[in-house]
Amino acid sequence: MVLVAGTGMTAFNRRKDGSGFRDWAEEALREALVSAKLGRGDIDALVVASESDFFSMQLNPASVLADDIGLAGAACQRVEGGGASGQLAVHAGVAMVLSGSARRVAVVGFEPSASYLSGAAVSELYGYSFDAWTDGMTGISATALYALSAKAFMARCGANHDDFSVISVQNRENARDNPKAHLPLEITQEEVRESLMVSDPYRRLDCSPLSDGAAAIILTDPNAAPADRKNAARIAGIGAANDRVRLGDREDPGLFKAKQVAAKRAYALAGISEPARQIDLAEIYDAYSGAQLQAIEALGLSNDFLKEHRSGGFSPSGRLPVNLSGGLMGQGAPVGATGVAQVAACAQQIEGTYHTGLQMRKPPRHAVADTHGGIATTCAVTVLEGSGN
Amino acid sequence: MKHRLTLEYTLGAGALEPYLNGLREGKSIARQCRRCDRVTFPPERACGCQSSDNLAGSYGWKQLAGTAALVHRTDGSGGSFALVRFDGADNQAVCRIANPVMEGEHARLLAVHDGAPGLLIELTGEALETAG
């Protein structure tokens, strides 16, 4: 068993204050250490998540951050798996604790996705997140690839753009109660429908933003946690899986198959046999509005996901609230930080300490955090539970 | 603080060389698994049928007709792209559409003379009706 003894994150936004990723990482870790009631000297290992040195202009960022934040002497490493980097770093930290190689691990995710480079440069780099030699050479964007996957999904299950735009509206609405969110917006489905077409069916308001920011968590062995943190939320299961990197090589380009596999692995470790009944909260990788629905299907969170979506089952007052944080579309998406922030949000919800207005009245017993890199190519899923389970 | 970094790569085509050379000539050079005959364009480096043992991979190359059927299409500010299945291939391919003003379900491969060797297709259907 591994506890999430502490959590911290900066605001996710486009920085205009002259600060840099090293400042953000330090801020997030400081907050996490305070909430864990631990000091820097208590940390045995640092795991850093960051998607791209192209964004940060810093190779081997783990060594730099370890030095910056006073962890010289600790073991340190960087984990990268595209959009899944944050949760894969969490998984690496969990493995360290479970193996006994570390008793207290700091996991820090960061990304300067918004302010360091132009949006056009970041978009071009993201085009190489896929198979750079084939799909990437066509000049296709991430949005267009997600759009092709969404079209396959829509053709198979009958979902339409109205189903997607509900998500665009809801996640921005959720973000309005999140003081650290990038896009807290009050928008309508009509505004989503009328926003700039990026790659059909996706319009501008169906897309998550490029954000700057950092997030951190402190993982501990229960015996290494401070006495009053032994009841912290715990990691009950982790799972990861990979799909064919090119959509064209997949049997169904609209199905997030690797996410299905990753979730099953995480559920098995957590003792979850009926996710549609046992999971009470989900933080999902909504890089695009439709991707949230594709993920809900793949994670097995409903026995009839489209019907339940249309009846409001995944809204804040529904059976299974999804992305109360605002998700990537509302809270923001500094890539390496995203998965760490998702795990932090789930842990805080379980402990009943999440943002006022977003905290579930009855804290969830089980929560699932879901990320992926590529078009659900590299998938990582984490199940958290309360100490009373 | 502004900092500028300019990079120029020399990329090794490796096993993909026949495929990439074919694109420059407008030829669809597909890879074929010698064990199960699966044909892939763009080429898979490892066929699923050969993943369960440690024997050396065994593949050949095969030229396809270069014609394709559209499966899904997306249009937007960054251009038009499609997921297509080339005739004779067992997988699908992401391609840029060179003539997005056309509609239709059939396409053919075009040669890529300049720039990156990506899959470029031309639709062979009717012109899209435009207002006015």
Rounded CA-CA distance B90/B64 in Å is: 12
Average the pLDDT over B40-45 and give the result: 94
pLDDT tens string A107-151? 999 999 999 999 889 988 888 889 988 999 999 999 999 999 999
Rounded CA-CA distance B110/B24 in Å is: 9
Q: Let me know whether A106 and A164 are in one domain.
A: no
Q: Let me know whether A318 and A171 are in one domain.
A: yes
Q: Let me know whether A351 and A365 are in one domain.
A: yes
Note the ipTM here.
Answer: 0.94
Instruction: Evaluate whether A199 touches A205 at the Cβ level (below 8 Å).
Output: no
Q: Let me know whether A142 and A32 are in one domain.
A: no
Beta strand ranges found along chain A (DSSP E): 2-9, 45-49, 75-79, 104-112, 197-199, 202-203, 212-220, 234-242, 281-283, 366-373, 378-385
Q: Which of residues 2-21 of B touch A (CB under 8 A)?
A: 3, 5, 16, 20
Q: Let me know whether A224 and A320 are in one domain.
A: no
Q: Let me know whether A270 and A379 are in one domain.
A: yes
Q: Let me know whether A360 and A252 are in one domain.
A: yes
φ, ψ dihedrals at A58, nearest 5°: -145, 110
Q: Let me know whether A222 and A127 are in one domain.
A: no
DSSP A194: H
- A243: containing domain: 119-208+233-385
Rounded to an integer, what is the distance from CA A180 to the centroid of its chain?
15
CB nearest B91 (choices: A137, A144, A248): A248
Instruction: Give the other-Cβ count within 10 Å of A13's Cβ.
Output: 20
Beta strand ranges found along A85-158 (DSSP E): 104-112
Number of domains in chain A: 2
Instruction: Give the other-Cβ count within 10 Å of A300's Cβ.
Output: 19
Q: Let me know whether A284 and A344 are in one domain.
A: yes
pLDDT tens string A248-268? 999 999 999 999 999 999 999
Please report the number of interchain residue pairs, chain A to chain B, with beta-carbon separation below 8 angstroms.
96
The bridge status of strand A104-112 relative to strand A75-79 is unpaired
Q: Let me know whether A220 and A259 are in one domain.
A: no
Burial class (CB in 10 A: 0-12, 13-18, 19+), B131: exposed
Average the pLDDT over A209-218 and give the result: 97
Chosen domain end from A175, A195, A229: A229
Q: What pLDDT sits at residue B132?
A: 44
List the one residue out of A263, A256, A258 whose CA is nearest residue A237: A263
When scoring B84, B94, B109 by the number of chain A Cβ atoms within 10 A, the one with the most, hence best to mutate, is B94
Residue B56: which pLDDT band, with cuts at 50, 70 and 90?
confident
Contact assignment for B118 to A138 by CB distance below 8 Å? yes
Q: Let me know whether A241 and A313 are in one domain.
A: yes
Average the pLDDT over A215-243 and give the result: 97
Mean pLDDT, chain A, as a whole number? Answer: 97
Q: What is the CATH number of the domain that holds A20?
A: 3.40.47.10
Residue B50: which pLDDT band, with cuts at 50, 70 and 90?
confident
Q: Let me know whether A367 and A276 are in one domain.
A: yes
Instruction: Report the percentage of chain A scoring pLDDT > 70.
Output: 100
DSSP A2: E
Contact assignment for A137 to B78 by CB distance below 8 Å? no
